[in-house]
């Protein structure tokens, strides 16, 4: 069964460093998303992406964040200058028929 | 703006007992409704969804949920709990508008099953 994959599973970085989180969505899906879950809190929407452009972004998704689909398979989330409060689990999702399929997540730890 | 409230951050039931996880939503128009399950150190897996039609929807692993418009609720139930049901459960909503509609999640309910 096709699934969404994410790499790395765990990323540790120092405050101020850039990180790129990678996702491979399910191949025939057209809508892509990033969500995050701070430890002990609910899952929050960051951004949605369709037809090579951002469809919607949340207040969290400020100028430090960017997304890209550099080729036909990968979907990346970049954080330019990480802050301590960016520590969270980041989930990628892709969507078909209003069903979003989530990847296993990348745990980002900012020290 | 849409919002989701899950009553009870922790629910504990005995194996074989009824599972009831509560979800209420706030939306200007009835949204699409979802339940997701998250096992430890894993991503979210779709249990079931309501989009249109029959208000009682059945999902995987014996779970079902009923959409009650008058109560703005979408509670999740399972007649008989199994140890493997121990996980975190999230209720979510999305707009009915076509396009890349985001999911808005509740706070989650951690389900514990006692032997």
Q: Are A20 and A82 in contact (CB under 8 A)?
A: no
Instruction: Give the pLDDT band (50/70/90) at residue B7.
Output: very high
Residue of A nearest to B97 (CA): A98
Q: What is the mean pLDDT of residues B77-88?
A: 96
The structure tokens listed for A95 are 């969507």
Are the CB atoms for B6 and B23 separated by under 8 Å?
yes
pLDDT, chain A, mean: 94
Q: Residue B74: which of B47, B113, B98, B100 has the closest Cα?
A: B47
Q: Which residues are registered as beta bridge partners of A110? A: A13
Asked if A28 contacts B93 with a C-beta cutoff of 8 angstroms, the reply is no
Average pLDDT over residues A64-82: 93
Interface test with A, best of B42, B44, B98 (most A CBs within 10 A): B44
Give me A83's structure tokens. Answer: 């802050």
Cβ atoms of A27 and A71 closer than 8 Å: no
Residue B89 has pLDDT above 90, yes or no: yes
Question: Are A102 and B45 within 8 A, CB to CB?
Answer: yes
| Residues A58-96: b if buried by 16+ CB within 10 A, e if exposed | bebbeeebebebeeeeebebebeebeeebbbbbbbbbbe
In this predicted model, what pLDDT tens digit does every residue of A14-63 receive, in sequence order? 999 999 999 999 998 989 999 999 998 889 999 999 988 999 999 999 99
When pLDDT is averaged across residues B61-84 and rounded to a whole number, the result is 96
Within 8 A by CB and 6+ apart from B43, the residues are: A4, A91, A102, A103, A104, A105
Which residues of chain A neighbour B51 with C-beta distances below 8 Å?
98
């Amino acid at each position: 069964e096709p699934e969404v994959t994410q790499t790395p599973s765990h990323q540790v970085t120092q405050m101020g460093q850039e990180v790129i989180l990678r996702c491979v969505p399910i191949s025939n899906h057209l809508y892509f998303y990033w969500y995050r879950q701070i430890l002990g809190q609910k899952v929050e929407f960051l951004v949605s992406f369709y037809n090579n452009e951002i469809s919607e972004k949340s207040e969290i998704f400020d100028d430090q964040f960017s997304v890209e689909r550099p080729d036909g398979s990968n979907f990346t989330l970049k954080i330019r200058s990480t802050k301590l409060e960016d520590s969270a689990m980041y989930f990628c999702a892709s969507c078909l028929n209003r069903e979003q399929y989530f990847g296993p997540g990348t745990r980002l730890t900012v020290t | 703006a849409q919002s989701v409230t899950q009553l009870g951050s922790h629910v504990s039931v005995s194996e074989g007992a009824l599972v009831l996880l509560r979800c209420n939503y706030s939306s200007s128009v009835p949204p699409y409704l979802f339940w997701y399950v998250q096992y430890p150190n894993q991503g979210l897996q779709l249990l079931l969804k309501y989009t249109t039609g029959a208000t009682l929807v059945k999902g995987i692993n014996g779970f079902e949920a009923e959409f009650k418009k008058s109560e703005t609720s979408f509670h999740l139930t399972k007649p008989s709990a199994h140890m493997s049901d121990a996980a975190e459960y999230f209720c979510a909503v999305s707009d009915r508008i076509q396009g890349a509609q985001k999911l808005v999640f509740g706070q989650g309910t951690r389900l514990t099953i006692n032997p």
